[in-house]
């Protein structure tokens, strides 16, 4: 078995993020030089792929996977994490490309991971962290958080995708136990890893409203989340 290196693979799913890719890339460049970037694009039609190709030409630490159709953000995370394991990265960090996840927090995550198996960002550890959000979105987000807490007994901000995994400590099969390929993957995987007694730390973050582009989450995703939450509640708390 090849020796695991201490480099970090930063996995960034994209779908029509033309106005955000360059900005997030510049912020990443100011951080640890051991970070390699993997963009996983779900068939953007706004020029995002062309920007990523140009970044790859300028920087060999940038790579990409272009998928032929929208396969889901959870699926993109799984693909990136599996590739990190295959390439013997010790650490894999996942984050959004919409400007709401600030790469500066990766340094805090790296400090936390020394005594943890997984680090998850939590927007509910700070007051007034949901900057620029409209009231409807705040209510829906907090309702989901408290429902997960009440029904599953976890206070983790499981719906967030900004995470750092130590692949030397966390088994790949445990990360991938969630079969959902969309947004449910986040809270399901967080709950399942906590359920398996992995040591999970959190860092507080602000989560500002996106400035460029629009959210990819639809109403059907919210309904799917509630349905799947009830299934998990029955399976893990009742049966």
First to last CA, the chain: 40
pLDDT at 156: 94
pLDDT at 199: 98
Whichever domain contains 90, its CATH number is 3.90.550.10
pLDDT at 50: 97
Positions of the chain with pLDDT under 50: 1
**Whole-number Å distance between alpha carbons of 147 and 9:** 32
pLDDT at 202: 96
**Whole-number Å distance between alpha carbons of 208 and 123:** 10
pLDDT at 215: 66
CA 211 vs CA 51, 68, 142, 207, 217: distances in Å: 19, 27, 21, 12, 16
Render pLDDT for 45-69 as a digit per residue (tens, 0 to 9): 999 999 999 999 999 999 999 999 9
- Domain span at 172: 5-238
Neighbours of 220 (CB within 10 A): 9
Q: What is the mean pLDDT of the chain?
A: 91
pLDDT at 211: 61
pLDDT at 195: 96
pLDDT at 134: 82
pLDDT at 138: 84
Domain count along the chain: 1
Structure-block tokens of residue 62: 């940038």
pTM of the entire predicted model: 0.91
Residues 2-37: b if buried by 16+ CB within 10 A, e if exposed: eeeeebbbbbbbbbbbbbbbeebbeebeeeeeebbb
């Amino acid at each position: 078995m090849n020796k695991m290196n201490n480099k970090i693979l930063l996995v960034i799913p994209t779908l029509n993020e033309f106005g955000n890719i360059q900005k997030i890339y510049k912020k990443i460049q100011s951080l640890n030089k051991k970070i390699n970037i993997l963009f996983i694009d779900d068939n953007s039609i706004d020029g995002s792929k062309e920007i990523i190709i140009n970044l790859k030409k300028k920087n060999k630490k940038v790579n990409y996977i272009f998928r032929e159709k929208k396969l889901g953000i959870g699926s993109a995370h799984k693909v990136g994490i599996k590739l990190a394991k295959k390439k013997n990265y010790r650490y894999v960090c996942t984050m959004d490309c919409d400007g709401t996840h600030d790469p500066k927090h990766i340094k805090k995550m790296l400090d936390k991971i020394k005594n943890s198996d997984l680090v998850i960002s939590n927007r509910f550890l700070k007051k007034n962290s949901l900057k620029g959000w409209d009231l409807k979105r705040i209510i829906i987000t907090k309702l989901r958080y408290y429902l997960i807490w009440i029904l599953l007994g976890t206070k983790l901000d499981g719906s967030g995708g900004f995470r750092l995994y130590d692949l030397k400590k966390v088994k790949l099969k445990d990360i991938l136990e969630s079969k959902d390929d969309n947004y449910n993957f986040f809270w399901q995987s967080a709950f399942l890893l906590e359920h398996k007694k992995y040591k999970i730390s959190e860092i507080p973050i602000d989560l500002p409203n996106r400035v460029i582009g629009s959210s990819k989450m639809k109403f059907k995703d919210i309904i799917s989340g509630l349905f799947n939450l009830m299934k998990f509640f029955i399976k893990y708390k009742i049966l």
